[in-house]
């Protein structure tokens, strides 16, 4: 998929290196080794760059390994979805657990920029991908 630009943000492809960095950051959030996760949840992974703030944003659900009960428990309910933020040039992602972001009335862990929401095709002021309908 070619990068898309709306407002000031650019939709970016999730490369294998980005995927691995998100897995590592998500595993660290849950205090577990990366091997406890087998990937990112299909259809829920997003990646964008906002040049107006020189910041990368990502969102993804982690898929727990069948051999890790700790990871399986950690990705249930309110641990099921994560938002990632990284300033350009920074080595590590800051990760926010946003498992309740899709629940009516829940507050977002962080406010995502409107331009990022636009390129991800998420509703304004949201912090979780729209439910396919």
What's the pLDDT tens digit per position in 58-117? Answer: 999 888 888 887 777 766 655 678 899 999 999 899 998 876 555 556 677 888 999 999
Chain-centre distance for alpha carbon 11 = 13
Domain that holds residue 58: 4-120
Rounded CA gap, 10 and 6, in Å? Answer: 7
Residue 131 belongs to some domain of the structure = no
Q: Is 39 helix (H, G, I), strand (E, B) or coil?
A: strand
Q: What is the pTM of this model?
A: 0.85
Q: Which residues contact 121 (CB under 8 A, 6 or more apart)?
A: 130
Residue 127 belongs to some domain of the structure = no
Residue 133 belongs to some domain of the structure = no
Residue 128 belongs to some domain of the structure = no
Residue 81 belongs to some domain of the structure = yes
Number of domains the chain contains: 1
Residue 130 belongs to some domain of the structure = no
Residue 116 belongs to some domain of the structure = yes
Q: Where are the alpha helices (DSSP H) in 11-130?
A: 16-29, 69-74, 114-120
């Amino acid at each position: 998929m070619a990068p898309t630009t709306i407002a000031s943000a650019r939709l970016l492809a999730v490369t294998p290196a980005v995927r691995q960095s998100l897995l590592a950051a998500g595993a660290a959030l849950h205090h577990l080794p990366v091997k406890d996760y087998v990937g990112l949840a299909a259809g829920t992974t997003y990646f964008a760059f906002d040049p107006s703030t020189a910041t990368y944003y990502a969102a993804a659900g982690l898929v727990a390994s069948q051999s890790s009960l700790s990871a399986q428990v950690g990705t249930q309910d309110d641990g099921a979805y994560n938002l990632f933020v990284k300033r350009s040039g920074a080595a590590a992602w800051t990760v926010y657990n946003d498992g309740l972001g899709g629940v009516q009335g829940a507050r977002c862990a962080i406010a995502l920029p409107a331009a990022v929401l636009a390129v991800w095709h998420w509703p304004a002021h949201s912090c979780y991908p729209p439910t396919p309908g």
